[in-house]
Amino acid sequence: MVKILSINAGSSSLKWKLFDMPSERQLAEGATDILRNSTVKIKYGTDQVYESTTPIHNYREAVANTLADLQLLGLVHHLNEITGIGHRVVAGGELFSAPIVIDNRVLAQIRALRDYAPLHNPVEADCIEIFRTMMPWALEVAVFDTSFHQTMKPVNYLYSIPYEYYQKFGVRKYGAHGTSVRYVSAHAAKMLGKPLESMRMIVMHLGAGSSITAIENGKSIDTSMGFTPVSGVTMGTRSGDVDVSLIAYLMKKLVITDVDQMIDILNTQSGLRGISGISHDVRDLEEAAPQHPRAKLALDIFVNRIVKYVGAYAALMDGVDTLVFTAGIGEHSSAVRARVMQSLDYLGARIDLQRNEQTCHQAGDITASGARVKTLVIPTNEELMIVRDVMSLSHAAQQAE
């Protein structure tokens, strides 16, 4: 038995989960919020929680504090019990179509892709370097959000702009949430007892960030997020698809000269928050909707965009066999699931309303009797997928020796 860390370094936080492998038992999970009074919260054991407020000024201190806490709480007696570390990396561009063991070359390439995810890749690269320094014995693996979507064909990933922009600058659709989609699609096939390669599946990853992915023969053939995660369906604070000319128009009207400021508006002030004027959280909007027309409108638009993408992807695959809801909203909001499914009856997709109400943050089949299309709810587990990748590459490295 070995212990593997899954690391998710965000723009202002360090999140992690510790697993016992190969049993896949989660031992603990934690988060350090660097910009909010440096709060640390760790869940472990049987509903045990450790919290502290510690002065942490940078990611090096955050990593050091995390490693100290692992020992303090007895989660490891010695750090060398942790033999592998998997890092979530947002952007892999066209360089990475699969998880990879990190060496100096790979780390440099992750840094070079910073323009594709400026808020994430630089921080992720810094954290990788810190862990490599502090735990040099551990196998470090990068798992990319974009890699699962590298199976898309040019007809689906290219934009209708001068082709040389793709050749020179790598401008194309890359997508996101690939690790999540890879996990839930495999889990869906296992639940149904069918080979993934024989299924036409649409995964609805609905959370603060949302995306819709079409999977055929076990591979991603199209996904709603594009060059960056701002495009696609309406999200918590992201706009989703907009006419690009709107950006220039609004910049003139708002007297904005820095395009990054406009992109920030589309990323952080739009979506459910921008439409409702209340909140980016579906739970808040569902509560407010009966008395607040804009809250209802925000939910209507959210559902509308999901339904449009599902319909488009069903057409692209000449039908669909399985629909999957996952992530925070997809797993928890039976109301959103019911509203989406109301519009998909024409596909032969119907749900059992009682099962739908009873299924919350657990895997479940909510398909109505007689429906041609299976509809599942599957909690995502990107961290488990990451540590599985670490184990797989560790075994490959051992066999190569």
Residues annotated as part of the active site? 145
Residues in Cβ contact with 87 at an 8 Å cutoff, skipping those fewer than 6 apart: 7, 9, 102, 124, 127, 128, 131, 140, 141, 142, 143, 386
Q: Give the separation between CA 75 and CA 349, rounded to whole angstroms.
A: 45
127, 9 contact by CB (below 8 A): yes
Annotated binding site: 8, 15, 88, 205-209, 281-283, 328-332, 382
> Which residue positions form the known binding site for Mg(2+)?
8, 382
Distance CA 300, CA 212 (A): 17
Torsion of CA 321, 326, 329, 333, to 10 degrees: 60
Does residue 222 contact residue 211 with C-beta atoms inside 8 Å?
Answer: no
Binding-site residue positions for ATP: 15, 205-209, 281-283, 328-332
Q: Which residue has the tokens 């202002």?
A: 12
Rounded Cα distance, 229 and 90, in Å? 10
Backbone angles phi, psi at 241, to 5 degrees: -60, 130
Contact 375, 349 (CB under 8 A): yes
Are 118 and 171 in contact by the 8 Å Cβ rule? The answer is no
User: Integer distance in angstroms from the first to the last C-alpha of the chain?
Assistant: 20
379 vs 43: CA distance, rounded Å: 19
Beta strands in 206-348 (DSSP E): 211-216, 219-223, 322-326
Distance, in Å, from the CA atom of 196 to the CA atom of 186, rounded to the nearest integer, reads 7
Type of residue found at 246: L
Sheet with 100-101, edge to edge strand ranges: 48-53, 39-44, 25-33, 13-21, 2-9, 82-89, 139-144, 100-101
- Which residues are part of a known binding site for substrate? 88
